[in-house]
Structure formats: structure tokens, C-alpha cells
Amino acid sequence: MAYRTIIFDFDGTLANTLEESRRIYNLLAGDYGLREVAAEELPALRHFSVLELLDHLDIPKRRVPSLLSRGTSLMRGNIANLPLIDGIDAVLPVLRERVNSFGVLTSNTETNVDLFLKARGLRDEFDFISSTSKLTGKSTHLRSIRRTFSLHPEEMLYVGDEIRDIKAAKKAGIAVAAVTWGFNSEASLAAESPEHLISTPDQLLELMPSG
């Protein structure tokens, strides 16, 4: 059965927010008694799951909601200036013509995603933007989206760049396309056995043949 709805993660999947996220994290680190992260550390961090990352950086789980909230608020001021993932702008309109609905599910805020997509002239391609303030809460939202659109699980595809995106999709019983241009490394994504492992945006078109 062909995919009828494609749902995208935002940070690292549609928008290149990694360096901005590191900058904001370092701005906040002192307030929380955390150490800053150097750019040179990022390649090694790409192999960690979110829980491993929190442990590695000694970030207490109780601090995560506050860090996320303050971080996404700080990102809002510069969100329209952040870059798209190279090549994704050419792929999205073509993909949109081949499915019934397009959406975003993110740990960022709906406002930030809306501002970013409007700045890039892409907001009209998307039917909905959904946000979760929990790092591991995406599976519940994916099931809710399935009910909203009266979809069978096999008609949905989630596209994300992190180990947690794969885990959320599997928990929700839907297919996932893991993209290697975002936060987690190709090896760490492959180890989670996603249905699709994508290394360039145009490879997404192969999942939705025309006609």
C-alpha cells in the first residue's frame, strides 16, 4: 500500500539548526550549571541517542523541559534566517503532489516551524504542524495524526534524523525514513533498522514513484 501521508521532523530534517542549537545551548549552559559543547565534539555526539546524550553531558532529565522551552524561545528570533537542508526545497513540492497530506511533527514549537516555512515560501505545502514538548513523546502524536486522518498505519511515513524518531515511529507502528544529513550518524541510524535509510533529499522521491 502506498504512503498517503508524509510527516517530517523539523530540526535537522527540514532545517539546518544544529549549529544554532549548539550556540543557544551554550548560552543557557551557565544558567543550569552545565558545560558548553565545542563544535569539535559534534561528530562524536552524533552517535548518541538522546538519553545517552543527556547522560554524556550530565543534563538531569528534570532540566530538559525548561531547556527546551527557553531554547526554542531564543531560536525564534533567528529562525527565519536559518538555512534549509540543501536540496530539500526542490523535493518537497514534488513529494506533496504524490500524497494526500503533508505535515510536521517536532520538538520545536509550531510558531518557529511556521515562521521558518513561511520565510522559505513552503508553508502552503504543509497541511499541519504538530509539536510535542517531550523529547520522547512523538509516538503518541503519530497515533493521534493517524486517527485524525483516518489512516492505516502502513499509509503513513515519518521522516526524521534522530534515533528517537525511529523509535517513535516503530512504537506507533508506522514506517520511518531516517535521513543521514541531520544530527545522528548514518551508522547509529542504521543500527535501529529503519524501513528506509536516506542519504540525499532526492532519494525521498524514490519512495513515492509518480503515477
pLDDT single digits (tens) 45-85: 999 999 999 999 999 989 999 999 999 999 999 999 999 99
- Whichever domain contains 161, its CATH number is 3.40.50.1000
Q: 125 with 67, same domain?
A: no
Q: 56 with 137, same domain?
A: no
pLDDT single digits (tens) 24-53: 999 999 999 999 999 999 999 999 999 999
Q: Which three cell numbers stand for residue 201?
A: 533529499
**Domain-terminating residue out of 80, 111, 128:** 80
Structural domain range at position 45: 18-80
Q: 37 with 118, same domain?
A: no
Cα–Cα distance, 28 to 23 (Å, whole number): 9
Q: 87 with 75, same domain?
A: no
Looking at residue 211, its pLDDT comes to 60
Q: 37 with 103, same domain?
A: no
0.85 exceeded by pTM: yes
pLDDT single digits (tens) 111-152: 999 999 999 999 999 999 999 877 667 999 999 988 988 889
Q: 117 with 106, same domain?
A: yes
Which band of pLDDT confidence, cut at 50, 70 and 90, is reported for residue 1? low
Interval 94-112 mean pLDDT: 95
Q: 48 with 119, same domain?
A: no
Looking at residue 198, its pLDDT comes to 98
Q: 35 with 116, same domain?
A: no
Q: How many domains does the chain have?
A: 2
